[in-house]
Amino acid sequence: MNLPAFSKFASSYISYSKVLSQLSLTKSVDQGLQIHAHLIKVGLSQDPKHRNHLINLYSKCKVFCNARKLIEESPEPDLVSWSSLVSGYAQNGLGEEALLAFHEAHVLGVKCNEFTFPSVLKACASTKNFILGRQVHGLVVATGFESDVFVANTLLVMYAKCGHLVDSRRLFEDIPEKNGVSWNAILSCYTQSDSFGEAMGLFYEMIAGGVRPDEFSLSIILNAATGLGDISQGKKVHGYIIKLGYEGDPFSLNALVDMYAKGGDLGDAITVFNNIPDPDIVSWNAIIAGCVLHENYNRALELLDEMKKSGICPNLFTLSSALKACAALGDQELGKQFHANLIKMDIMKDPFVTAGLIDMYFKCHLMKDAVTIYHLMLEKDLVAINAMISGHVENGEYREAINLFVEMYRQTMEFDQATLLAVLNAIAAFEAILDCKQIHALIVKSGYQADNFVLNSLIDSYGKCGHVQDAAKVFEECPVRKACQ
């Protein structure tokens, strides 16, 4: 909409508000800037209603400097102004900024309402700020909004994301009239906390209570069935999807593809995928990742070609799966093409992408390329380091693997079970007894002496270094000897 057309259309006070509301929904910031300029010209930019609509538009479109400026220029920014800013920060993943804005409003004496509290609690959840979350909960109770179902739902999500699932369940049970959103919230809390069995139990309780699951409930509970690794539970949920008429819903179908693939039934995953009328990027990613999981690498790459021909561009997750397929097949030419795509997409900073590239180049025996990518990283993370150590070991470069571990330890970088297993494999193959003893001391110091996988590798390393007595001593000290070699 150009400005002359807008001026003719927005001849009334109400029209300005309607247009700005619509632009907020569509996040049309360029048109919003034009309208803001027009409002300044006609002397209406400081009208409280128009100002709040503009703050809402700028906040949703991430133009926070403009939203902030409008608040600062306002003689008395009201609750709507601050709520829009807090909500914009929270919705765009800027939890710390949302909490700072909430604090500013609170200091100024602005009272929160049922629309402000959910955004503040969402910010507490994303930043894992449990102490502030508890304080906000107290404020919710003090202001009488604990009975509001949307506030209550956000509260239980906040507690779960801060690691207090018991409190979430208690809050859920205290909700007098649980709606579908309440059930979805608690199901999501349990699923995201890896409490898959409890999530399944709640789902059946929900059905027994006469609450009809929606497409979101079904996709959440399919994720729980996937987490359980129980394909029989997933098939039951599939039955509910058909019974309730959601067999055409993309959320449910995508979750079904993922569930069948991860549950070991690639055939059914492909059948469900083929029945999706218009597969989106999530559908394609699920089936491609499923094929890679089942080591059907050629089919995964064929599906990637089909996806591109259908007009859908691969994203980070697609290319991560494709790199695994190239690595397994040793297809260095195709792997290099994907590397070029990742550079064009400007996502080389993602740690899993970098680790995938390192792994692919090592598996294609292009060690120099793998090392180059690693050295180009501005910040070496654990995922990339583990890929490097494992890659050196797979290519018989045992001393390089050990040296890299020593270097990371000297730089006080963190390590995990995967790091120790990889470096112990290098020590065993290289028969480096001095390194073995040093790693043994580090295992004890860092608390991994109770990890049976690490202890098995340590026993193996001592044995291959010819130190059978040391291997036997580690075995004697195993907390669970049956789990050790």
- C-alpha distances (whole Å) from 223 to each of 172, 195, 201, 396, 462 are 21, 11, 14, 39, 42
Q: Output the pLDDT for position 156.
A: 92
Helix axes of 79-91 and 116-126: crossing angle, nearest 10 degrees: 30
Q: Is residue 309 part of a domain?
A: no
Tell me, yes or no, whether 477 lies in a domain. Answer: yes
Q: Identify whether 223 is part of a domain.
A: yes
Asked if the structure places residue 250 within a domain, the reply is yes
Contacts of 152 (CB under 8 A, 6+ apart): 146, 171, 174, 175, 182
List of long-range contacts for 299-308, beta carbons under 8 Å, 24+ apart? 300/325, 301/325, 301/326, 301/329, 301/334, 307/279
Domain housing 199? 178-258
Looking at 258, 287, 319, the residue that finishes a domain is: 258
pTM of the model: 0.75
pLDDT (0 to 100) of residue 480: 63
User: What is the model's pLDDT at position 483?
Assistant: 52
Residue 362 falls inside a structural domain = no
Whether residue 461 lies inside any domain: the answer is: yes
pLDDT given at position 485:
57
Give the residue from 208, 225, 258 where a domain finishes. 258
Per-residue pLDDT of the chain (485 residues; tens, 9 = 90+): 444 444 444 445 457 778 888 887 888 888 878 888 888 888 777 788 888 888 888 889 899 898 899 888 888 888 998 999 999 999 999 999 999 999 998 998 888 889 999 999 999 999 999 999 999 999 999 999 988 888 999 999 999 999 999 999 999 998 888 888 899 999 999 999 999 999 999 999 999 988 999 999 999 999 999 999 889 999 999 999 999 998 888 889 999 999 999 988 999 999 999 999 899 999 999 999 999 999 999 999 999 999 999 999 989 899 899 999 999 999 999 999 889 988 888 877 788 888 999 999 999 999 999 999 999 888 888 999 999 999 999 999 999 999 999 999 888 888 999 999 999 999 999 888 888 899 999 998 988 888 889 999 999 998 999 998 888 988 887 766 555 55
What local confidence, expressed as pLDDT, does residue 9 receive?
Answer: 46
Q: Which amino acid is at 441?
A: A
Q: Is 283 a domain residue?
A: no
Which pLDDT score is estimated for 449?
A: 83
Beta carbons within 8 Å of 455's beta carbon, 6+ residues apart: 449, 474, 478, 484
In the prediction, which pLDDT does 5 show? 47
The answer to the question of residue 438 being in a domain is yes
Output the pLDDT for position 8: 47
Among 216, 237, 258, identify where a domain stops. 258
Total of domains in the chain: 2
Position 48 scores a pLDDT of: 82
